[in-house]
Amino acid sequence: MRAGEGSSGNSEFHIQNEDFPALPGATHLESTHSQLKSGNSDNVVQDARYLDRSNIEKLGIITSPDGLVKNIPPTMLADQFGMAGLLTFLRAIELDPQIVGLALGHDLTNLGLNLNAPERNVYATFAGPWSDVSCRVQDMDTKVTFERQFDLAVLSFLFFNQLLSLQVPDEYMTNLSIRDKLPGIKLNKLSEDVLFYLFYNCPGEIYQMAAANELYGRDWRFHKTQCVWLTRSQYGVVKEQTSVFERGSYNVFDPTQWRKVRIFLNQRE
């Protein structure tokens, strides 16, 4: 703004552009006004729609009290398990704070995890999310450390150092001295109850296959349809028998009751 030259009573003011800069969007409004004068109303409508769409995108995800979620970006999951569902929940807890624990979980510091410690080796103290107390030394699994440290080459040296740092009493470290002196398991000396225990409690291990092989040698057969072990009853007779079919009385081992049950059924080879 500058004062014009002349007498003091007739001073004039000349407004410069830098004195009153245009407001944001003024250029677009001026162009819109000129388009209206020139008759380009279609371009004005398209620009208005573009502005509305861009303003809605800037608002982000829109949630309503009835649970309806709008304006979800196309690259985001549109179900309740993604960020949109989490955002809906975070906005809902402002109205009902009691539902916070249902989705956000619990504070890890209350479970025995000291996240503020400089060293966060939680294996030495953390007993699991369902334990109320910290893990004790006698509760640690040291089998990997003292039994297989020479067999598992894939484990790093740092991992062994961490496990070997546990203060385990010397009287418990007996595996290295007796591992080669223990006799092998003789399955033919075990009772059927022990064989069934190995079969049902060692799934996918060599003990399960060895127990199944021993049960097969004792005339037990595994029924593929019923998924049970059965053998011919000593007090029953086979009613009908062919090369692929057999019908009669059998003793079936029931793992839920852990006993033998006598039933009458049909069996195919």
Q: Note the pLDDT of residue 217.
A: 94
pLDDT tens digits for range 242-269: 666 677 778 889 999 999 888 776 665 5
Higher pLDDT, 130 or 154: 130
pLDDT tens digits for range 193-237: 999 999 999 888 888 999 999 999 998 989 888 888 988 877 766
User: How far is residue 234's CA from residue 84's CA, in Å, rounded to a whole number?
Assistant: 66
pLDDT tens digits for range 49-108: 554 555 555 567 777 777 677 777 777 767 767 777 777 777 777 777 666 554 456 666
Task: Evaluate whether 202 touches 208 at the Cβ level (below 8 Å).
Answer: yes
pLDDT tens digits for range 136-191: 655 555 444 444 444 444 444 444 445 555 566 777 777 777 777 878 888 889 99
Average per-residue pLDDT for the chain? 67
Mean pLDDT of 41-45: 51
Largest distance between two CA atoms of the chain: 137
Higher pLDDT, 35 or 112: 112
Find the range with the poorest average confidence among 14-28, 114-128, 228-242.
Answer: 14-28
Indicate whether this model's pTM tops 0.75. Answer: no
Q: Note the pLDDT of residue 180.
A: 79
User: How far is residue 145's CA from residue 152's CA, in Å, rounded to a whole number?
Assistant: 10
In this structure, are strands 69-70 and 62-63 parallel, antiparallel, or unpaired?
antiparallel
